[in-house]
Amino acid sequence: MSKLILAFCICLTTLVSPLASATTIESGKDPYQSAAWLSLKKEYLANQTFVFDDRVKVSGPEFAEDALNVPIKFDATELTSKSNPILKIMVLVDRNPIRKVLVYQPLKFEPILSFRIKLEQASPIRVLAQTKDKVWHVGSTWVESAGGGCTLPTGSRADGSWSESLNQVQTKYFVSQDQNSIRLRARIMHPMDTGLVSGIPSFHIESLEIRDKNNAIWMKLAIFEPISENPTLSFDLPANTPKENLVLVGNDNNGNLIRNEILW
């Protein structure tokens, strides 16, 4: 009998491989038990493998006092490895009418990003990082909100000032005293209209890239309507990044170009 029990245990241990664990998580344990997650999974992941993973850290306020400007940050550095690097990171909001927020390809940057979003109602915020092995690693946080952020006009749209500063860019580097941390902050002036306000069509920044003097791409970012007005984006760079001037380039969905030299 003891031999039979031992054989059964060995068999069970063999079955509970990392892939089996992933399958178990896939089949149900959303930390927020959100019904909207089922449709998000179907729309954006289809039949791809995913796991809920605490190494993808997502932070935001407990309550969004301003639903038009909700600060969010993700950090997936614990997931990063040389053998299985992160290819891209996607941000989704379960309960927004427009649920896709951005897609980030860090390339030479760290898999860390701070930004602000519009939030229509209290919701889980999802950050999905895809590694080279094609597995999506899902981190989440919950933000309470009185809501309405996606269906209200932005400030510059309401007062008509948006056209005076459209696509102007401000950038600045921040280096820690020990030189082990480099942060690049960029602000792009744009109304970021969702298209959900009566009489105001969708008008938003569509893509951004940062390139070096040889035109090599250091990061790529696709942006969608839920990003807040006049986006402020904070990127982290590796400590050994050479201090050379870079260029931020991009466009909005009306074909307006964005270009700014990033100086040290």
pLDDT tens-place values along the chain, 264 residues long: 444 444 434 443 333 333 333 433 443 489 999 999 999 999 999 989 999 999 999 999 999 999 999 999 999 999 999 999 999 999 999 999 999 999 999 999 999 999 999 999 999 999 999 999 999 999 999 999 988 999 999 989 988 899 999 999 999 999 988 888 899 999 999 999 999 999 999 999 999 999 999 999 999 999 999 999 999 999 999 999 988 999 999 999 999 999 999 998
Whose structure tokens read 């306000």?
197
What pLDDT does 178 receive? 85
Residues whose CB is less than 8 angstroms from the CB of residue 19 and which lie 6 or more positions away in sequence, other chains included? 49
Which pTM was predicted? 0.88
Cα dihedral: 197, 202, 207, 208 (round 10): -50
Cα dihedral: 112, 114, 120, 121 (round 10): 70
Tokens of 30: 């959303």
Q: Which CATH homologous superfamily contains domain 35-262? A: SoxY domain (2.60.40.2470)
For the chain, list the strands marked E by DSSP: 50-52, 57-59, 63-64, 70-75, 86-93, 100-105, 112-117, 123-131, 136-145, 169-175, 182-188, 205-211, 217-223, 232-237, 246-252, 257-262
Whose structure tokens read 């997936």?
76
